[in-house]
Amino acid sequence: MELSIVIPVYNEEASIDPMVERLSSILSDLPSPLEVIFVNDGSRDATEEKLLDAKASHPWLRVVNLRRNFGQHIATYAGFDHSEGRLVVTLDGDLQNDPADIPKIVEKLDEGYDIVCGWRMDRKDAFLSRRVPSLVVNWVIRRDSPHPIHDSGCFLRGYTKEAAEEISRYSSTRSWFPVMFAKLGFRVTEVEVRHHARPDEEDSRHGTITRISQFLSILVGATDNPFLYVVIAGMAAITVSFGALVAAALSLIVGGLSAALTWAVVAIVLAVWGTLVTVSGVVGEYVARVHHEIGRTPRYLVRDIK
Ligand code: UDP
Ligand code: MG
């Protein structure tokens, strides 16, 4: 099997037919034999029936039904575990990613990259609730990656079978991040891809709580830097508090008691705040270590032994 395309779907009855149609129209541009695996993530609408109907006329289509709704990322691991292709491409099943971009992803993989990430040009998602958090996350984790990419949230990605297997083996957390794999020595790159609005006009199959949890998960899963920033902020506050202490002493000489008291209060507040923040950042570092242990993130990966 040359290529497996993995598509997690949850209540996407309206998108299945157009999705299958778009996939059929680009198959001739892709390596063959290939398979398209729809992972039905516990849908409660007619997604399964639509998929089975489509399967009757498209032999390359496979359906993996999960027992309940496990979430997009876990559904994708299930797709990885059931895929046989030398290369694996993932994309959303709601037509926000464009199947016509798959050949580009495959071309890059064939250049020798292990992971190829889509970089959504002209992203069609809500600005404040979706794009602003993405900007923050992408900015933080770009600073901590050997192969920085712009868009850590795009689901249209390509993997070698080996990379997909590793991801499924040790990603116990909800999400995984190209930066983690870049750190382990996989070659990661990106290509520009299109992005469309959801055809049904609804925002998402993910609720707000899941969104917030994904945001945190990306932030702490891909990098420990947030703790570093916290410690730096705490230490900076403590340093400034010394300045305020000096200002308090000087005021006592030249400016009088009330100015001295004001500076003293500023010094104390900064010192207390800085100490608390520094301590919580250091505790965060310990927690990060535990997190890596239970997340089974490997310390190294062997490419081959000759
Ligand atoms: N999805 C899934 N399980 C879920 C939620 C979503 O398999 O619990 C699928 C969904 O059907 C879609 C893809 O994951 O194919 C992306 O979901 P969504 O469009 O809601 O995410 P967004 O585009 O808003 O990030
Ligand atoms: Mg979507």
**pLDDT at 203 exceeding the cut of 80:** no
Q: From ligand 2's centre to the CA of 197, what distance in Å?
A: 8
Note the CATH number of domain 3-207: 3.90.550.10
Ligand located closest to 19 CA = 1
Any idea which of 8-12, 47-51, 162-166, 292-296 has the lowest mean pLDDT?
A: 292-296
Q: Which residue among 6, 9, 10 is best mutated to probe the pocket of ligand 1, counting the most ligand atoms within 8 A of its Cβ? A: 10
**pLDDT at 172 exceeding the cut of 70:** no
Q: How confident is the model at residue 142, as a pLDDT?
A: 86
**166 CB under 6 A from ligand 1?**
no
Q: How confident is the model at residue 174, as a pLDDT?
A: 53
Q: How far apart are CA 281 and CA 303, in angstroms?
A: 35
Q: How confident is the model at residue 190 (pLDDT cuts 50, 70, 90)?
A: very high
Q: Which atom of ligand 1 is nearest to the CA of 92?
A: 15
Q: How confident is the model at residue 273, as a pLDDT?
A: 97
pTM of the model: 0.84
Q: What is the per-residue DSSP string for 257-290?
A: HHHHHHHHHHHHHHHHHHHHHHHHHHHHHHHHHH
Q: How confident is the model at residue 214, as a pLDDT?
A: 79
Q: Identify the residue whose C-alpha is closest to ligand 1 atom 2.
A: 72
Q: How confident is the model at residue 102, as a pLDDT?
A: 98
The rounded Cα 157 to chain-centroid distance in angstroms is 11
Q: What is the per-residue DSSP string for 86-152?
A: SEEEE--SSSSS-GGGHHHHHHHHHTT-SEEEEEESS--S-IIIIIHHHHHHHHHHHTT-SS--S-T
Q: Identify the residue whose C-alpha is closest to ligand 1 atom 25.
A: 204
Helix (H) or strand (E) segment spanning residue 240:
helix 225-254
Mean pLDDT of 23-30: 97
Q: How far apart are CA 135 and CA 3, in angstroms?
A: 32
**96 CB under 6 A from ligand 1?**
yes
Any idea which of 35-44, 147-156, 259-268 has the lowest mean pLDDT?
A: 147-156
Q: How confident is the model at residue 220 (pLDDT cuts 50, 70, 90)?
A: confident
Q: Which residue among 50, 127, 206, 211 is best mutated to probe the pocket of ligand 1, counting the most ligand atoms within 8 A of its Cβ? A: 206
Neighbours of 15 (CB within 10 A): 22
**pLDDT at 173 exceeding the cut of 70:** no
Mean pLDDT of 53-79: 94
Label the pairing between strands 115-120 and 188-193.
parallel
**pLDDT at 128 exceeding the cut of 90:** no
Write out 212-224 in H/E/C secondary structure: HHHHHHHHHHHCC
Q: How confident is the model at residue 170, as a pLDDT?
A: 74
Q: For residues 163 and 177, is the Cβ–Cβ distance under 8 A?
A: no
Q: From ligand 1's centre to the CA of 12, what distance in Å?
A: 9
Q: From ligand 1's centre to the CA of 92, what distance in Å?
A: 6
Q: From ligand 2's centre to the CA of 296, what distance in Å?
A: 29
Q: How far apart are CA 223 and CA 81, in angstroms?
A: 26
Q: Which atom of ligand 1 is nearest to the CA of 94?
A: 15
Q: How confident is the model at residue 245 (pLDDT cuts 50, 70, 90)?
A: very high
